[in-house]
Amino acid sequence: MLKKKEQFMRLIFLFSACTSIIAVFLICIFLFANGIPAMSKIGVFNFLLGKNWKPSNALFGILPMILGSIYVTAGAILIGVPIGVLTAMYLSLFCPKKLYRLIKPAIELLAGIPSVVYGFFGLVVLVPFIRNYIGGNGSVMLTASILLGMMILPTIINVSESAIRAVPSNYYEGGRALGASHERSAFFVILPAAKSGVFASIVLGVGRAIGETMAVIMVAGNQARMPKGLLKGVRTLTANIVIEMGYAADLHREALIATAVVLFIFILIINLSFSLLNRKSI
Amino acid sequence: MEKFKITDLDLYYGTFKALIKVNLTIEANQITAFIGPSGCGKSTLLKSLNRMNDLIEGCRIDGNVLLDGEDIYGNIDVNLLRKRVGMVFQKPNPFPMSIYDNVAYGPRTHGIHSKIKLDEIVETSLRNAAIWDELKDRLKKSALGISGGQQQRLCIARALAVQPEVLLMDEPTSALDPISTSKIEDLISELKERYTIIIVTHNMQQAVRISDKTAFFLLGQVIEYDTTENIFSNPRQKETEDYITGRFG
């Protein structure tokens, strides 16, 4: 009787464990089954490297969007990584306890804000600010990068902070015993020792930035053309899918799914490098 | 010549009194061993000689510690004090960087950046720590890839690289195998010509083998302090005798 119960429970556990794998598997099948034929119809080369996206003329080149995603993400990293890593250093090694109790929940809150709210903030605050003080019409690559930079901060801060805290204290003591100041030990012993964790946080940040959709659509301008500069509008892969999915049909629709395939492969590469980094840190 | 003069030193961790009225004079260019059972305060006293206890929250000190006549708890630069009084820890703690960078870390901290000078310091320090021949071909490799005994000698080299006057060693061989231990003991004996060495050890044979003077600690107090020979062959206090004959501890 007990044996049967045990076997039954084991099946339930196995099934639960498999659920997420099945989900990923199904998404994979759906994406590739719909996307690959479209790619071959358009031509892989024309699809990935084509500079024109004009569905009405049957031109399906997504290079502008690929570059758009990469540029916006790079901008977000440029803004988010220095601020995020330095914040993590401050929180783990310099911050007085009282202030920590204030900052930490604030960062956690930042992580919990829905992206559409970020988008609204961008639309109401950042877009007019850029338009009035820097140039362009406001809905430009720079705005999207700044907003995304803010959005990836919690990821970078939290992951980096735990990496920095995980550095054994005997490294720090070794540094201090050689006559290095607290600051020098922090930046030249602890930070290098936490390197792989900090890189992992950056990779996760890239993943978050490249997959972000709603906030970007609201501030990026979304023109489907080759990116022309920081103060010009830009369209990302995610934006491309969401904006046109509502009315697309036939090959156009399949081309959008193929866009998702490209995005999926991007994320796959990012996750792979994340797990490689993690393995190295152990 | 006296290097350290410790007078009436009391040390508290919060409300716990870890050292009680310690009076010790430590001679230059000698090896002084601190022995005693766990928790007797010997490591605590060692750490108060380069003020590593400052890093422990709630640690408070009364009394005087003079280094060459200068009060190290007075108005001095702690980082310069730690440059003069180097430390080797119980567990080898090389930084997770290359062997070269480990040794160069100290000199760089104290403002030496010339490549030629650093190369020279790294080589001399590793030679002085008797590990140059083993490591010279892998200076750019990670310090975490060498054996525990080599790591500990690397840590000694790293401490020597800032040209200290005193070396504090907190049970430097307790995590090592017998062969590495004997290498490090030989090294310590060689180093005493140029450095004042204070070593905390649980291993009484080690104290006998290498030290000139020995202080026996019990419950935060120095029970007896004398030449190593006298302590081990002719102890004056009953507690010391009980400890070294293995009746407790």
Per residue in B100-143, pLDDT (tens digit) is 999 999 999 999 999 999 999 999 999 998 899 999 999 999 99
Q: What's the rounded Cα separation, in Å, for the pair B201 and B224? A: 16
Q: What's the rounded Cα separation, in Å, for the pair A185 and A198? A: 17
Residue A136 counted as domain residue? yes
Residue A142 counted as domain residue? yes
Contacts of A168 in chain B (CB under 8 A): 93
Residue A56: pLDDT band with limits 50, 70, 90: confident
Residue A104 counted as domain residue? yes
Contacts of B80 in chain A (CB under 8 A): 179
Residue A197 counted as domain residue? yes
Longest Cα–Cα distance in chain B: 57
Residue B249: pLDDT band with limits 50, 70, 90: low
Residue A56 counted as domain residue? no
| Residue B208 token pair | 């006998």
Q: For position A242, what pLDDT does the model report?
A: 93
**Number of domains into which chain A is organized:** 1
Instruction: List b or e across A65-74, with b for residues whose CB sees 16 or more CB atoms inside 10 angstroms.
Output: bbbbbbbbbe
Q: Over 60: is that where the pLDDT of B178 sits?
A: yes
What is the separation of C-alpha A267 from the centre of its chain, rounded to a whole number of angstroms?
Answer: 9
Average pLDDT over residues B151-179: 92
Q: What's the rounded Cα separation, in Å, for the pair B137 and B26? A: 39
Average pLDDT over residues A263-273: 90
In one letter, which amino acid is A251?
Answer: L
Q: For position A102, what pLDDT does the model report?
A: 94
Distance from CA of A190 to the nearest CA of B (A): 9
Q: For position B119, what pLDDT does the model report?
A: 95
Q: What's the rounded Cα separation, in Å, for the pair B78 and B60? A: 16
Residue B48: pLDDT band with limits 50, 70, 90: very high
- Percent of chain A with pLDDT strictly greater than 90: 72
Q: For position A282, what pLDDT does the model report?
A: 45
Q: Over 90: is that where the pLDDT of B199 sits?
A: yes
Q: For position A280, what pLDDT does the model report?
A: 63
| Residue A174 token pair | 């070794």
Residue A121 counted as domain residue? yes
C-beta separation of A147 from B72 below 8 A = no
HSE, side-chain direction, 13 A CA sphere, residue B92: 26
Closest partner residue to B95 (CB to CB) among A176, A179, A189 is A189
E-strand stretches of A7-96 = 53-54, 59-60
Beta strand pairing call for B196-200 and B31-35: parallel
HSE, side-chain direction, 13 A CA sphere, residue A117: 7
Which structural domains are found in chain B, ordered by start? 2-244 (3.40.50.300)
User: Do A173 and B50 make contact, defined as CB atoms within 8 angstroms?
Assistant: no
Q: What's the rounded Cα separation, in Å, for the pair A81 and A47? A: 32
DSSP B145: G
Summarize pLDDT for A187-235 with one digit per residue, the tens: 999 999 999 899 999 999 999 999 999 999 999 988 888 888 888 889 9
DSSP B166: E
Contacts of A188 in chain B (CB under 8 A): 105, 109
Residue A149 counted as domain residue? yes
- Quickly count helices (H) and strands (E) in chain B: 10, 10
C-beta separation of A169 from A249 below 8 A = no
CATH no. for residue A78? 1.10.3720.10
- Of A195, A200, A212, A164, nearest to A273 (Cα)? A200
User: Do B162 and A174 make contact, defined as CB atoms within 8 angstroms?
Assistant: no
Phi, psi of B168 (to 5 degrees): -100, 130
Residue A20 counted as domain residue? no
The ipTM of this complex is: 0.88
Q: What's the rounded Cα separation, in Å, for the pair A183 and B191? A: 31
Q: What's the rounded Cα separation, in Å, for the pair A10 and A6? A: 6
Domain carrying residue A113? 66-281
User: Do A176 and B86 make contact, defined as CB atoms within 8 angstroms?
Assistant: no
